[in-house]
């Protein structure tokens, strides 16, 4: 009986914080901006010059991203956090296996959260739209660029025989 109790307690401790273990407490936030040479600065101190810009951020941290470039109007986007599908699955696993301790660990660590938007798309608007040195690129063009970088989805073939 004591052996079973010890095993159950050990399992609860080792499996607690399921989302914390599976997803981690940080997340990569990708920033795409046009023009590509824009300076990117966040309210939490991260900066990038040009793209690609990838920021490693605590899942609990909400912040703003500001992009600026000569000849363009600055633009700021707020990045919030919310529970994601993967985080909800981690909580469900904790309820079944890790119990209250695991749910608490995940809640405190922020492992159940994801940033939104991610990727952050910023299309700066030219101060003078007629100036050929400051072309305009739309958010849709930025999204198309990201979509083109994704590997194609492979269709599974039915088993032979």
* 0.75 surpassed by pTM: no
The answer to the question of residue 38 being in a domain is yes
Predicted confidence at residue 79, as pLDDT, reads: 97
Q: Which is higher by pLDDT, 105 or 114? A: 114
Question: Into how many domains does the chain fold?
Answer: 1
What is the distance between the alpha carbons of residues 154 and 161, in angstroms, rounded to a whole number?
A: 21
Q: How much is the average pLDDT of 91-118?
A: 63
- Report pLDDT digits (tens) over 108-155: 566 778 899 999 999 999 999 888 888 888 889 888 888 888 777 766
Helix axes 99-109, 85-93, angle to 10 degrees: 150
What is the distance between the alpha carbons of residues 48 and 23, in angstroms, rounded to a whole number?
A: 25
The answer to the question of residue 46 being in a domain is yes
The answer to the question of residue 31 being in a domain is yes
pLDDT of 54 over the 90 cut:
yes
- Report pLDDT digits (tens) over 131-141: 888 888 888 98
The answer to the question of residue 36 being in a domain is yes
- Strands 120-123 vs 26-34: parallel, antiparallel or unpaired: parallel
The answer to the question of residue 158 being in a domain is no
User: What is the domain extent for residue 110?
Assistant: 2-149
The answer to the question of residue 155 being in a domain is no
The answer to the question of residue 134 being in a domain is yes
């Amino acid at each position: 009986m004591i052996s079973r109790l010890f095993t159950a307690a050990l399992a609860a401790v080792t499996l607690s914080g399921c989302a914390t273990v599976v997803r981690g407490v940080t997340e990569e936030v990708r920033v795409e901006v046009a023009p590509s040479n824009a300076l990117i600065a966040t309210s939490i101190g991260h900066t990038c010059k040009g793209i690609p810009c990838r920021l490693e951020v605590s899942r609990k941290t909400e912040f703003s991203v500001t992009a600026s470039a000569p000849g363009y109007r600055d633009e700021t986007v707020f990045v919030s956090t919310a529970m994601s599908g993967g985080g909800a699955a981690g909580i469900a696993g904790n309820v079944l296996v890790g119990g209250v301790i695991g749910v608490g660990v995940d809640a405190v660590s922020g492992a159940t959260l994801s940033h939104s938007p991610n990727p952050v798309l910023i299309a700066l608007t030219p101060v003078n739209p007629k100036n050929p040195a400051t072309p305009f690129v739309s958010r849709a063009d930025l999204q198309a660029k990201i979509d083109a970088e994704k590997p194609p989805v492979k269709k599974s073939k039915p088993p032979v025989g």
